[in-house]
Structure 1
Amino acid sequence: MSFFNALRERAVSTINQVLDKNKGEKLTKDELFCRSHNLPDNEAILGESAVELSIKSDNSLNEYSQSPQGRIFLTNHFLVFWDAFDRRNCSFVLHLSTVKKVERLPSSSYGFALSIATHSKLNVVFYLIGLRSESEKFAHALKIALKENLPNIAKLQPFIQSCYSEYILAKNKISHENIEAVPPGGLGNKFKFPGNVVELRDKSKMKLWFDLFRADGRNLSLIKTPMFHKLVRVGLPNRLRGEIWELSCGSMYLRLDNPHEYQQLLKDNKDKTSVAIEEIEKDLNRSLPEYAAYQSPEGIERLRNVLTAYSWKNPGVGYCQAMNIVVAALLIFMSEEQAFWCLNVICDRIVPGYYSKTMYGTLLDQKVFESLVQETMPMLWDHINKHDIQLSVVSLPWFLSLYLNSLPLVYAFRILDVFFQNGSKTLFQVALAILKINGEELLKLEDDGMFIQLIKDYFATLDHSAHPDSNNNRYKSITKFQELLVTAFKEFSVIEDSTIEKHRAKHRDSIYSNISTFVKRTELRNLPKTPNLSADDLSVIYDRFYSIVETYNVTMASGKNSMDFEAFYKFMTDICDFININTAEDQRKIIRDFIYRLFTHWSSSEDHQITLADLIIGLNKLVEPDLMSSMSEFYQLYNNPATDRIDREGILKISEDLLAITSPWKDGLLLDNITEKEIENAVADEVYRQQQLEKEDGEGEQKVVLPSEVNIDKKEIEGRQAERYLSAASTFIQRAFEYAQPEEQELLIKDLAIDNTISHNAALNPNTPVYINLPTFRMVILADETYELFFSKTFRHSIHVAKPPDAKFDTMRNLRDMFDGILADGRAVATKVRRRMDSAASNAVDNGSMKSGKSKVEPVEEEEADDDLNNMDIQDQDVLLGAEAEMNTKKPDNQRPGSNRPSVVEMSGDDNLIEFET
């Protein structure tokens, strides 16, 4: 028997792991065990054994006629047992704090037996099945666990005072526990419970539970027998409902382990404000308004306390839609602390993702529900599709409010009784039963509104007879709600957790993808305006940001959605050439300090974190194309806000950082525009020289082939660029101190004497404090061509904000790459060659004109022409562009009589071949 049980347990564990893998979570064996038995997450399995039980209560003469067989598990704080054949037959979760006595029984046919007595007068005998050594090992582990649990026994007595089950036993002289007062309960104790007490047979139900507590224990040491499940199904008595709910879902164990956390959360966060609290205040008066307690200050205050405490307990969720409805229902039967811990279990365990910013759990389960309708009621599903009826519009409120906003409260609480016992599958079973019962009427409807109205009418008549025309009084007495329960939990009992998880796995990817897209679109839409970043840039930055911030789950909107410095440095390294190209260790340290300066300057939070909005705003400034704004932003990195100036140390730091940042260009690993123009001119000169060497054959077609190699002195060009950047760094620090201003100091009378040793510029004196301001910094930068180009183009072009997270491409780094790029696109070279040809032809014409006595027009060099165009006013450029547009409307030169100028430059199939039509 024990061998087959071990195989069975191993198979169940494997299935659970597969199902859990589909959920996208990686839970350990212990975590899976805790989820399966509603234990706290920190429990671990210390031992297990096949076992046969004998259970007897001192308060009852009854004993099990058939001893249940199954497996017993020992964890840090619990003994867990379930029947090997059917868990409903016998199962329990026994807290070790309730164990009063453990003894080893004399040898029997089983060979090894342990007897345990609990505080509820239960005597449980464990007949361990298996090797004696394994039984000894289990007994030893139990002994150690009981010793380690001794400090927790002190929590038991205060906890018992809060349990109504202990109160009714003590009041009837069954229990010897000293219960001083009625345990704090829900709002129903003062404002009455929903429904008619007589019709609900509350006293009869209480008597049945009283007998069960006498025979099978209570709260932390309750044995769940078939009678327990029957009593839950027929409806819980109002005064016991809160305790049974928290026992069924496991929140009772959290309340025991954390006796003061709820009150401490309220105390520590008193008078604090947050977005969640603002939302809570808006919904307080909209929470079950039909119940009298929520029209009173006491009920509103209790609701506020629980929701506020949870928002501080779980700030990632805070407060979400419909959470107020659920808590309002709990508080009718529970104290604030009970409702608080029960809410934690609902949100984290039973229906994860229902109450979150993205509501991913609810949306996923709506797809699951539609799949189940299609599978179980294909005719109704075809009708829904045919008439484009949105089923989720109807069913979403059922799931989100746990039927509390849809059904009358009396019946909604009956659904919650089963929900806390069986989990989320209850929601699906009831929803399917609703459609099944109303299926024939629904097939006649072709409109969403009529569909919703029919269901509302059905909910409003749940207390009516399900068979009013029946001649059988027994059938006639069955209400619609009773019919709903039978249909849900009998006909749809095949809908198990495994069935639901199979459908969840099927739809999870598409739902998560849709949610991620929606969240991304919403977050990008709410970002500040960034004129220097396009929509595509923002999309790429968003993807890269969340690919680095791995602790944040976009779909579930959980985790920390901000960067620390290490994540920020990785982000910048991926997109900035001046970081990932630089290989010198000393330079990398300086650049890392510069990136940290950016990090602290961009961060808007007190905990030194970078949010997505901070990053977007910072990058928008970093790629600013306006030269003056770019220099100003760089200046602000070193500026002292108190004095609005940069001192001597700041000037030296700027010089050091600029030298480190520009090292890829200084070392020839990157090329700036000045060097690129030098290379283009060198290639154009070589092409033009080769063309001049060729002999012209009349007015026939002339071709120029770009050479595969051009005689360019690589070291010379790299050297010139390196020299420019070294000179720029030297010039910067020299001019910065030359134009720096001395600090204003109050002179004493004795200092008024003339000192001929003082320089004419005190800033040059190393002993004199000096500073520069923004105008001075701009002047120093603009005085150098290389640094001016660096702030206007070079630095900005080295930052690739549009580089996708998974892209691995290198920028153009050396002269060989630059030359290959020029050969790949011969248009730039062709333009320069054409200008040289035009200039030579113009000179030839001018020489002829001079011989004939005509005036000569001086040719304009290409570089000079470009500079003149760049230095023109906007109005001058508009005039030039207007004239150019007017010229374009005229006939081409080659169409005018006597014109021999080339008018078309075309690229042939060979990239190295340029044809000039003459």
Structure 2
Amino acid sequence: MSFFENLRSKAVNTFNQVLDKNKGEKLSRDEKFCIDNHLPDGEVILAELAVELRISSEYSLIEYNSVPQGRVYLTNHYIVFWDAYDRRNCSFVLNLSAVKKVERVPTNSYGFALNLTTHSKLNIVLYLIGLRSESEKFAHSLKMTLKSNLPNIKKLQPFMQTCYSEYILAKNKISDENIEVVPPGGLGLIYKFPGNPKELRDKSKMKLWFDLFRADGRNLSLIRTNMFHKLIRVGLPNRLRGEIWELSCGSMYLRLDNPDEYERILEENKDKRSIAIEEIEKDLNRSLPEYSAYQNPDGIERLRKVLTAYSWKNPQVGYCQAMNIVTAALLIFMSEEQAFWCLNVLCERIVPGYYSKTMYGTLLDQRVFESLVEDTMPLLWQHIAKHDIQLSVVSLPWFLSLYLNSLPLVYAFRILDIFFQHGPKTLFQVALAILKINGEELLQLEDDGMFIQVIKNYFLSLDQSAHPDSPNVKYRSITKFQELLVTAFKEFSVIEDSVIEKHRNKHRDSIFSNISTFVKRTELRNLPRTPNLNQLTLGVVYDRFYSIVETYNVTLGSGKNTMDFEAFYRFMSEICDFMNNETTEDTRKIVRDFIHRLFSHWGTSSTSISLPELATGLDKLAEPDLMNAMSNFYELYTDSSKDRIDREGILKMSEDLLAITACWKDCFVLDEITQKEIENAIADVVYKQQKQQNEKQFESEKGELKLPTEVDIDKSIIESKQTERYLSAASTFIQRAFEYAQPNEEEVLIEDLKIEDNKITHNAALNPNAPVFLNLPTFRMVVLADETYELFFSKTLQNSVHADKPLDSKFDTMRNLRDMFDGLLADGREVATKVRRRMDSAASNALLANSDGASMKSGKSTRIQEVDEEERDDDFNTIALNDGDKDVLLGAEVGELKVTSNSTRPTTQVEQQKAHESEHEHESENLIEFQT
């Protein structure tokens, strides 16, 4: 039989390796070894060898049907042994600190043997099998590892003072440890343990464990035999339950290695607050309220400290739903430190993902459970599917609370005894057994509510006889809970870890996809209001944000979900035109400094920015209102204490404007003014061609004008105009910003304007030695005085940020001259409209010239000029302001300003006269152009 067991074990190992490879999560051999043996992470196999085993103590000689054979493994801090045929027959995890002596024992049948003596007076003889050289190598590795572990021996004696198993042996003169005080334990020592001790036969169980400890060792040097597994199956005594739980799951080893970490975490974070702590406070009074300790401040405080300490140790998880219930159960049988380390192992290794932000582990296992029901109970599954009964609604609380919220506590603790020993497969086996036992009754139900009620009634009757009408007294004495255990661990013993992992791999992708979609929808719904970014754009921003923040796993809810500056710079470079052009190194440095300014002002932290903060910042860049857009830009250069910009800030602002507009200055991107110049240039060329041909070949049947496929336009002229505009705008901005800047003291400005000897002194704001500042109204005035910067803040900057650009598209948003020509000619509507207007204007001029000859003879000259309403709207030489805007401009103390009826742009009288003369010259040019 052992031969077939060995084959089965090899097949399972091979199958698991294939699964790991398919998942793309191939663990190293050492990592798998640590998980299988509940060892702390970081242990490495230093040596291994086939051995035969003989174990003895002062009180008994362990008799086996055959001498245990298997492999022994040596790691940095442990010696591990597995029985070759059945690990339940014999296995141990021996901490090297518990080894008191190692001797070489000569033998006749083997090369030699090693006799290990433990602190619990246990003698473990390892008969080394194999080549002599391999045996010598193993013995040498053991010797060197024991020497390196000598500093850890000092941890052993204080640790023994916390073990109840050592305490009861010391009280009975079995242990050499001097333990006078009862080790710190759970709340049950004060508030009593749930259940009736007599009915639970607690004393009898304690006597059995006492005998086991004498013969097979305890805590760090316990030999796990068949008797060990049987005693766990029948239920642990309350006083030993906490220690056996932490030994079974491996948290005892973490507690040994980190003796002061729990208290250190609490001390370092005692005055800190977090979202996790706020959530913990809400749930403290809802943690097993039926247990008396949690109606008392002492129990609540212990629970608060353990949950708080874990939230600081693992901030990625912090605190999640149902952690309070599980921790409350642990604290009944464990001290705070024991519960803290047990919670670590539970959340991070035994049921990873159960207690996380997305609960991905629980959701995945719910789908696995449904698959197992479908495979093992097809008739019941067909009934559930037919009536659309949501099985996860019934089973989710079982898995999430480890049955603590569903079963009476006495029976839930019995399930946990087995769970900590055998792992998560216990949850599936018990859940399947519950449905199996109640299957006939459940087949009669067609409603979720009745489904839940039947299960609830069953849980309340677990102490009743499973066969009350049986004529056999033995059967009548079997309770429903005992029947549940037999069904779970006999009928469903085939539900092994490999089977569960197979189903997990099958459904993992679909579950993770659903979780990702749900998380995205939830996070987008909770973002701050962004009136300038629609939901589709926010969805693209979300995807790009988490594609760049590679350390965060959206599905698992783990990792850092904020963006540092380098990631932010990369994000902005993918969506902003002004960051992607062939500029000089100095310009790129200034642009980088400007992006850092955005990073600092958008985020509340100096080192990172979150998705809500990024969305709010991008919404400001997409602001369509001119006044608000200028205000948003202005705020980047002000500090929180003063709502104004000093001399250095003005210089920095002008420098940044010159840098971020470099792509327009260098004509890598064309703005709206240039676009209209191109449209007018193309219209002029087409109009001249039409006039020369004097034909109607360009007119279609519907009267639409047909454009040629190519038009020759002098590219250099158009580009040079845009370049000159942006250079002039930058120069004018800094000149006017200092010209109209305010001195620090208003009184100084007034005094300097006094008339003395018929002379007005210079404005103090223009004095380079006098400190000046720029306020928001003045900044708006300076921007509005230039058509290029006015357009930049109203449209150009907004259009250069492509927050909705898909992730998989290349960055190709530059509108160069050739692309714009092609687009205008392909569309043709704007150009055709302008050409038609020129044709209609020319025809009207010729007609009116013939019909109005009489009025011309009388000395009255008539000049007709058609003005396109659309072009009038797009005339950036005219600034249309409402009354409120005029008040803002007039509120800036910049000297005497005049606002004409045709334009609200502030100018001096000299500038106004020059503009008036320029306007007349422009009108004369128009007359010449349109008179034919």
Task: Judge same fold: TM > 0.5, yes or no.
Answer: yes
Per-residue deviation at 1:257?
A: 1.0
Q: Report what 1:885 is aligned to.
A: none
Q: Relative to structure 1, is the Cα distance of residues 848 and 634 closer, same or farther in structure 2, using a 3 angstrom cutoff?
A: same
Aligned residues of 2:706 and 2:832 also touching (Cα < 8 A): no
Per-residue deviation at 1:42?
A: 2.1
Per-residue deviation at 1:39?
A: 0.9
Per-residue deviation at 1:359?
A: 1.5
Per-residue deviation at 1:797?
A: 0.7
Q: Relative to structure 1, is the Cα distance of residues 841 and 269 closer, same or farther in structure 2, using a 3 angstrom cutoff?
A: same
Per-residue deviation at 1:281?
A: 2.3
Q: Report what 2:217 is aligned to.
A: 217
Q: Larger deviation: 377-386 or 445-454?
A: 445-454
Q: Report what 1:708 is aligned to.
A: 709
Q: Larger deviation: 340-349 or 687-696?
A: 687-696
Q: Report what 2:457 is aligned to.
A: 457
Amino acid across the alignment from 1:518: F
Matched, 1:721 2:719: no
State the alpha-carbon separation in 2 of the partners of residues 603 and 866 from structure 1.
Answer: 38
Matched, 1:843 2:861: no
Amino acid across the alignment from 1:408: P
Q: Report what 1:482 is aligned to.
A: 482
Aligned residues of 2:564 and 2:608 also touching (Cα < 8 A): yes
Q: Report what 1:802 is aligned to.
A: 804
Q: Larger deviation: 574-583 or 100-109?
A: 100-109
State the alpha-carbon separation in 2 of the partners of residues 746 and 844 from structure 1.
Answer: 64
Aligned residues of 1:114 and 1:125 also touching (Cα < 8 A): yes
Amino acid across the alignment from 1:373: V
Q: Report what 2:787 is aligned to.
A: 785
State the alpha-carbon separation in 2 of the partners of residues 386 and 852 from structure 1.
Answer: 95
State the alpha-carbon separation in 1 of the partners of residues 145 and 12 from structure 2.
Answer: 26
SS class of match (1:290): coil
1:552-567 mapped onto 2 (5 Å cutoff): 552-567=552-567
Aligned residues of 2:574 and 2:811 also touching (Cα < 8 A): no
The number of residues matched between the two structures is 869
Q: Report what 1:833 is aligned to.
A: 835
SS class of match (1:45): coil
Per-residue deviation at 1:705?
A: 4.7
State the alpha-carbon separation in 2 of the partners of residues 771 and 850 from structure 1.
Answer: 60
Q: Report what 1:744 is aligned to.
A: 745
State the alpha-carbon separation in 1 of the partners of residues 457 and 392 from structure 2.
Answer: 18
SS class of match (1:768): coil
Per-residue deviation at 1:596?
A: 0.5
Q: Report what 1:820 is aligned to.
A: 822
State the alpha-carbon separation in 2 of the partners of residues 729 and 873 from structure 1.
Answer: 23
Amino acid across the alignment from 1:409: L
SS class of match (2:183): coil
State the alpha-carbon separation in 2 of the partners of residues 5 and 96 from structure 1.
Answer: 31
State the alpha-carbon separation in 1 of the partners of residues 5 and 593 from structure 2.
Answer: 62
Amino acid across the alignment from 2:736: R
Q: Report what 2:889 is aligned to.
A: none
State the alpha-carbon separation in 2 of the partners of residues 639 and 454 from structure 1.
Answer: 67
Amino acid across the alignment from 1:258: N
Q: Larger deviation: 775-784 or 209-218?
A: 775-784
Amino acid across the alignment from 1:349: R
Q: Report what 2:625 is aligned to.
A: 626
SS class of match (2:114): strand
State the alpha-carbon separation in 1 of the partners of residues 280 and 742 from structure 2.
Answer: 57
Q: Relative to structure 1, is the Cα distance of residues 134 and 381 closer, same or farther in structure 2, using a 3 angstrom cutoff?
A: same
Q: Larger deviation: 136-145 or 354-363?
A: 136-145
State the alpha-carbon separation in 2 of the partners of residues 756 and 851 from structure 1.
Answer: 57
Q: Report what 1:911 is aligned to.
A: none
1:492-507 mapped onto 2 (5 Å cutoff): 492-507=492-507
The Cα offsets for residues 116-166 of structure 1, whole Å up to 9 and x where unpaired, read as 111011111222333333333322222222122111111111111111111
SS class of match (1:444): coil
State the alpha-carbon separation in 2 of the partners of residues 475 and 8 from structure 1.
Answer: 35
Per-residue deviation at 1:20?
A: 4.0
1:437-456 mapped onto 2 (5 Å cutoff): 437-456=437-456
Amino acid across the alignment from 1:734: Q
Q: Report what 1:49 is aligned to.
A: 49
Per-residue deviation at 1:350?
A: 1.1
SS class of match (2:52): strand
CA RMSD of aligned residues (A): 2.8
State the alpha-carbon separation in 1 of the partners of residues 578 and 71 from structure 2.
Answer: 64
State the alpha-carbon separation in 1 of the partners of residues 678 and 494 from structure 2.
Answer: 77
Q: Report what 1:888 is aligned to.
A: none
SS class of match (2:116): strand
Q: Report what 1:684 is aligned to.
A: 683
Q: Report what 1:653 is aligned to.
A: 652
Q: Report what 2:351 is aligned to.
A: 351
Q: Report what 2:640 is aligned to.
A: 641
Aligned residues of 1:59 and 1:121 also touching (Cα < 8 A): no
SS class of match (2:508): helix
Per-residue deviation at 1:275?
A: 2.5
Matched, 1:70 2:103: no
Q: Larger deviation: 662-671 or 40-49?
A: 40-49
Q: Relative to structure 1, is the Cα distance of residues 857 and 705 closer, same or farther in structure 2, using a 3 angstrom cutoff?
A: same
Per-residue deviation at 1:681?
A: 1.1
Per-residue deviation at 1:305?
A: 1.8
Amino acid across the alignment from 2:710: E
State the alpha-carbon separation in 2 of the partners of residues 66 and 20 from structure 1.
Answer: 35
Unaligned runs of 5+ in 1: 876-918
Q: Relative to structure 1, is the Cα distance of residues 757 and 853 closer, same or farther in structure 2, using a 3 angstrom cutoff?
A: closer
Q: Relative to structure 1, is the Cα distance of residues 22 and 198 closer, same or farther in structure 2, using a 3 angstrom cutoff?
A: farther
Q: Larger deviation: 15-24 or 352-361?
A: 15-24
SS class of match (2:709): coil
Q: Relative to structure 1, is the Cα distance of residues 112 and 582 closer, same or farther in structure 2, using a 3 angstrom cutoff?
A: farther
Q: Relative to structure 1, is the Cα distance of residues 284 and 866 closer, same or farther in structure 2, using a 3 angstrom cutoff?
A: closer
1:359-438 mapped onto 2 (5 Å cutoff): 359-438=359-438
Per-residue deviation at 1:271?
A: 4.2
The Cα offsets for residues 477-506 of structure 1, whole Å up to 9 and x where unpaired, read as 211111111110011000011111111111
State the alpha-carbon separation in 2 of the partners of residues 615 and 27 from structure 1.
Answer: 37
Q: Larger deviation: 368-377 or 798-807?
A: 798-807
Q: Larger deviation: 498-507 or 562-571?
A: 498-507
SS class of match (2:94): strand
Matched, 1:865 2:872: yes
SS class of match (1:180): coil
Per-residue deviation at 1:114?
A: 1.9
Amino acid across the alignment from 1:613: P
Matched, 1:769 2:768: no
1:174-253 mapped onto 2 (5 Å cutoff): 174-253=174-253
Per-residue deviation at 1:612?
A: 0.8
State the alpha-carbon separation in 2 of the partners of residues 9 and 758 from structure 1.
Answer: 102
State the alpha-carbon separation in 2 of the partners of residues 109 and 516 from structure 1.
Answer: 62
State the alpha-carbon separation in 2 of the partners of residues 858 and 688 from structure 1.
Answer: 19
Q: Larger deviation: 766-775 or 187-196?
A: 766-775
Per-residue deviation at 1:581?
A: 2.2
Matched, 1:30 2:36: no
State the alpha-carbon separation in 2 of the partners of residues 757 and 566 from structure 1.
Answer: 56
Per-residue deviation at 1:5?
A: 13
Q: Report what 1:326 is aligned to.
A: 326
Unaligned runs of 5+ in 2: 884-932
Q: Relative to structure 1, is the Cα distance of residues 7 and 103 closer, same or farther in structure 2, using a 3 angstrom cutoff?
A: farther
Q: Relative to structure 1, is the Cα distance of residues 232 and 640 closer, same or farther in structure 2, using a 3 angstrom cutoff?
A: closer
Amino acid across the alignment from 2:836: R
Amino acid across the alignment from 1:629: N
Q: Relative to structure 1, is the Cα distance of residues 672 and 101 closer, same or farther in structure 2, using a 3 angstrom cutoff?
A: same
Give percent identity, aligned residues only. 76
SS class of match (1:427): helix
Matched, 1:261 2:261: yes
State the alpha-carbon separation in 2 of the partners of residues 630 and 152 from structure 1.
Answer: 65
Per-residue deviation at 1:364?
A: 1.1
SS class of match (1:155): helix
Per-residue deviation at 1:845?
A: 2.3
SS class of match (1:575): coil
Q: Relative to structure 1, is the Cα distance of residues 14 and 65 closer, same or farther in structure 2, using a 3 angstrom cutoff?
A: closer
State the alpha-carbon separation in 2 of the partners of residues 842 and 100 from structure 1.
Answer: 114
The Cα offsets for residues 691-724 of structure 1, whole Å up to 9 and x where unpaired, read as 1122447999688653333221111211121111
Per-residue deviation at 1:45?
A: 1.9
The Cα offsets for residues 749-797 of structure 1, whole Å up to 9 and x where unpaired, read as xx99x99999713444433322222222222212211111111111111
Per-residue deviation at 1:200?
A: 1.4
Q: Larger deviation: 657-666 or 240-249?
A: 657-666
Aligned residues of 1:846 and 1:856 also touching (Cα < 8 A): no
With normalisation by structure 2, the TM-score equals 0.89
SS class of match (2:852): helix
Q: Relative to structure 1, is the Cα distance of residues 581 and 116 closer, same or farther in structure 2, using a 3 angstrom cutoff?
A: same
SS class of match (2:574): helix
